Amino acid sequence: MSAQTAENPAFPYQPVRPLAALAAFRGLIRDKEDTRYVFRFFAAAQGRTGEASFRRFCASELGRTIIADRQWLADRLMDRERLEACGPGTFAAAYLHYLDSEGLDPLGVYEAAVANNPEHYALLDRDYPEFSAYTWAMSLTHDLYHVLTGYGRDALGEALLLVFTGVQTGSRGSRLLGAMGGLKIRSEIPSWPVGRMMRNAAAMARAAAPMPVTDLTALFPLALDDARAALSLRPDPLYRDTLAAWNGPPPIAVKA
């Protein structure tokens, strides 16, 4: 690893270990709420993939803002009065509805991850502060990605969002975890066109604006469809229609 400087922030790297990644995936299937398995999977599968996205984040105006002041992003997501003032039909209103209907908190994804693996996050904060800020930003905007892409918190939606995010960030860990989750779902419900939906998620990610370096909160006042259009996002009707037509038991969830 090259020496860490302000212009060349350190990126955590571990060699790829396929068997360890498989063991972590099996652990996640057994206990989908234990995000330690997610970290083990990413540590074993990621390698240097995702580094380019991290460095783009560090070089961007958004990244520099969050690295200097993480609370800036939290404040914009948690200012309910400001979000409600955007009015009905807006991206802000859709985000609030998503949080309320799912019983979520804007900091929930990050706080749950830290609670499950405090040592990992303490290490990031100490040795990789810029990457820690990047992880913080990706965790807090995860719910924004759900709203903008149209993928829900169901098992299929989570797997497809992992693929979408992996293509956006170049993360092999995210793409692979999403694909493996999709294969598990396909084995449980053979009639679902999971492969086609995975390809659609990847295509939407390639066509979209680079969301990790875009201030998504600036789009809150826009109508939801206009916010999606600003990012060149077109939610997949095949995903929506597949869930709407299904009345059987849901597949096992694999969540990031």
pLDDT, tens only, 143-156: 999 999 999 999 99
Whose CA is closest to 254, among 156, 175, 172? 156
Q: At what angle do helices 129-140 and 108-116 cross, to 10 degrees?
A: 130
For the chain, the C-alpha Rg in angstroms (whole number) is 18
Q: Please give the pLDDT value at position 24.
A: 85
Whole-model pTM: value is 0.90
Whose CA is closest to 196, among 163, 229, 158? 163
**98 residue type, one letter:** Y
Q: Which residue has the higher pLDDT, 109 or 83?
A: 83
What are the residues facing 90 on neighbouring strands? 223
Give the integer Cα–Cα distance in Å for 122 and 88: 40
Phi, psi at 173, each rounded to 5°: -60, -45
Q: Please give the pLDDT value at position 254.
A: 54
Stretch 109-134: mean pLDDT, rounded? Answer: 90
**Tokens 């995975």 appear where?**
198
Report, in this order, helix, strand and coil percent for the chain, each rounded to 5.
70, 0, 30
Per-domain residue ranges of the chain: 50-171+178-245
Is the model's pLDDT at 213 over the cut of 70?
Answer: yes
Stretch 16-32: mean pLDDT, rounded? Answer: 85
Point out the least confidently predicted range of 5-14, 51-60, 206-215, 233-242: 5-14
Mean pLDDT, the chain, as a whole number? 91
Whose CA is closest to 88, among 80, 99, 75, 97? 97
Residue 130 tokens read as 């810029």
CA atoms within 13 A on the CB side of 198: 22
Q: Please give the pLDDT value at position 42.
A: 80
45: pLDDT confidence band, cut at 50, 70 and 90? confident
Give the integer Cα–Cα distance in Å for 194 and 243: 11
User: Cα separations (Å) of 192 from 34, 195, 239, 245, 252?
Assistant: 27, 9, 9, 10, 14
